[in-house]
Amino acid sequence: QVQVVESGGGLVQAGGSLRLSCTGSGLIFDDYAVGWFRQAPGKEREGVSCITWSGDSTDYTDSVKGRFTISRDNAKSTVYLQMNSMKPEDTAMYYCASSSYYSGNYCLAKMRDFDYWGQGTQVTVSS
């Protein structure tokens, strides 16, 4: 059974930092691209970032460029999202998902291309 589990969410003040983790089991995690997505109350889910299976290529939505960094440790079957200089508008439920679609050297954080999803971890940024 494939499972993708997020952790690391919480409450942080504006300007602060959090690191989210995404761990995969039941699949060869390092064969898959992994993406982070978020959904704020009353808004559609949006792509935040993704990283290829090798970690050589990443993608970020414009609103987080320069503030968020995605990385992975395949030995631990874990992908991280380091979030710095956080803003109240970063408040959302954050989801991790794996993708068998991106087998090459690029990825795009588009929901339709991701297969297995976690249950999410809540991130709240206070002003």
pLDDT digits (tens, 9 = 90+) for 68-93: 999 999 999 999 999 999 999 999 99
Which residues are CB-contacts of 70 (< 8 A; sequence separation ≥ 6)?
36, 49, 50, 51, 58, 60, 79, 80, 81, 82
pLDDT at 1 exceeding the cut of 80: no
Question: In the predicted model, is pLDDT for residue 10 greater than 90?
Answer: yes
- What is the mean pLDDT of the segment spanning 97-121? 92
Q: Per-residue pLDDT tens for 14-54?
A: 999 999 999 998 877 778 899 999 999 999 999 999 999 99
pLDDT > 90 fraction of the chain, expressed in percent and rounded: 84
Residue 68's SS3 state is strand
Task: Report the alpha-carbon angle 1-100-22, nearest 5.
Answer: 60
